[in-house]
Amino acid sequence: MSLDKILSIAGKPGLFKIVTQTRTGAVVESLIDKKRLTVGAHSNISILNEIAIYALTEEVPLPEVLQKIKAKESGKPTTISHKAPKVELEEFFFEVLPEYDEDRVYPSDIKKVIQWYNILQKNKMLDDLVTKDEEASIDEEE
């Protein structure tokens, strides 16, 4: 599964998986506690596959950033907590993505990425990460 079925919902902690779509929104399941809830079309929903991190030259897709964290951490949970001090968060992120734009990527963004990585890692969803470039090359091979 790529991240096109995984969501972040504003005002709700954690990540959610789309279970089914309804006429007025979707039924989602929390990746943290497996509880289901209905979200309306008016909710501020972000699909993880469509999120990118600002870099100095171009935006880096979130799946690519998550793969870099996975490589750095050898597929294990991060060595840093998302609740770590700002300086430690920035140091960690600089190791993962040295070209990230420090002026436009805030500590709160870094916290979310670390938290999302750990949720995906716990749910064994990191092995399924596919970047858009890999998707394109898979499509070309078929």
pTM: 0.86
Amino acid at 139: D
Using a 10 angstrom Cβ sphere, with 0-12 exposed, 13-18 middle and 19 or more buried, the burial of residue 113 is: buried
According to the model, what pLDDT value does residue 138 have?
43
CATH 1.10.10.1650 fits 51-141, yes or no: yes
At residue 130, the pLDDT reads: 57
Mean pLDDT in consecutive groups of 10 residues from the start of the chain, 142 residues: 85 93 92 94 91 95 95 93 95 96 95 96 82 48 48
Q: Which residues, other chains included, contact 69 with Cβ-Cβ below 8 Å and sequence gap of 6+?
A: 78, 96, 113, 114, 117
Is residue 94 a contact partner of residue 100, using CB atoms and an 8 Å limit? yes
Q: Which residue has the tokens 């979130």?
A: 62
Which pLDDT does position 78 carry in this prediction?
95
CATH numeric code, 3-48: 2.30.30.730
Indicate the domain borders of the chain: 3-48, 51-141
